[in-house]
Structure 1
């Protein structure tokens, strides 16, 4: 295959654009924010689970407090009724003794219930503090996630802008090359990632491998418009004044 030496040299410009596009794609896949977001999402989920757990405990305690208060109200109501019966004075001796015994029992029961309620309220206060702390921790985790997502989106926007610019440049560049030369370049690039490289000294600019003396002798004897390729990677070897031929 033959192509004007100047046209071949322009392959280096195309290769540089393609290299930057490859870097953009690699950068897009390996943004540090991606791993950070994954970790932040896991943290948010853990904090959310912790909040749900303490909120559930708080709800259970609230129900227990209401049940205890209801029972205390019932005991007090029963005590009020018994005291009214005693105050009426229309009860017999046996009923009087029963009422007095029941009042004493109700007072003991109320005391126990009130002690239990006090303990429940103390536990609820502690769990309420844990709940508030869990909400703060969840807010912090969500803020960290939002921040990482914002930085990711900003980085992706920059990469998209660079990619769009380079794709536009590439579309103009490829029109400068003969179809057969471009086809060879694209085929090698598709297989090896780099379609052309500068021959500098005895080293291929695409794969960085040093070319043996026999092959170098053949390259030196090739015409300027001959398209030569690297035996190792298949990339088109672009010859310039830097090639030392």
Structure 2
């Protein structure tokens, strides 16, 4: 036996469909918040910066270690020079004096070489420190952007969730007024085809956007007002109103 329902009950399905469409739209917006994509891009930037930071830190540490070795070598040379000067002051042997002066001259040249190297390495250390500071600053600025974007995402999501909750409450109110069998058919068609109710307006089904052909339109005209009809194109319940043009 074909399902029957009062026209005013069938009209409730249009409100129900509108609310279900709104819930789907809100769910889609929640899944595709613009800030979510922005955060993913920011995370890729942060990952690249953290990788650069790690590399720069390693390079700086290597340069600092090299500088430490050069400074240690300078200290060793200066210690030997101090020792030789003390020995030079304490000896009267011409041979020893000559040997010590030659060694002091060689040590002085070695110290000069090491100090030149030390200056070069110090410059490299300063350059690496500057680069590292710039990367840290960029990462800190990026962290601020991440925090701001996260806050905007959470605020937007909360707003959408509040709207969705209100819409779901309205849906429950409307659904409670729809007769059980009619509601069950609506839910079945919506689950199967994506749309549960279609408004026939001016001979056009809102669910499919297609005008009913003459045969289908004739069948609609011949049906009783309380007959529950299905849209021939979308399979949603075809709801007739004063706008249907029949």
Same fold per superposition (TM over 0.5): yes
| Residue matched to 2:12 | 10
- The normalised TM-score by structure 2 is 0.95
Cα pair 1:204 1:237 within 8 Å, conserved = yes
Deviation for aligned residue 1:159: 0.9
> Match of 1:199, SS?
strand
| Residue matched to 2:173 | 172
| Residue matched to 2:244 | 243
Cα pair 1:188 1:235 within 8 Å, conserved = yes
> Match of 1:232, SS?
coil
Cα pair 1:47 1:141 within 8 Å, conserved = no
* Deviation beyond 4 Å, 4+ runs, structure 1: none
| Residue matched to 2:99 | 98
Deviation for aligned residue 1:171: 1.7
What is the CA deviation profile of residues 95-132 of structure 1, one whole-angstrom value per residue up to 9, with x for unaligned ones?
A: 33322221111111100000000011111111111111
> Which of 45, 48, 55 does residue 43 from structure 1 map onto?
45
| Residue matched to 2:209 | 208
| Residue matched to 1:137 | 138
| Residue matched to 2:225 | 224
Q: What stretches of structure 1 of length at least 5 have no aligned partner?
A: none
After TM superposition, the structure 1 = structure 2 runs for residues 52-131 of structure 1, keeping only pairs within 5 Å, are 52-89=54-91, 92-131=93-132
Aligned residues: 244
> Match of 2:243, SS?
helix
Deviation for aligned residue 1:4: 0.7
Equivalents in 2 of 1:205, 1:220: separation in Å?
Answer: 18
Q: What stretches of structure 2 of length at least 5 have no aligned partner?
A: none
CA RMSD of aligned residues (A): 1.2
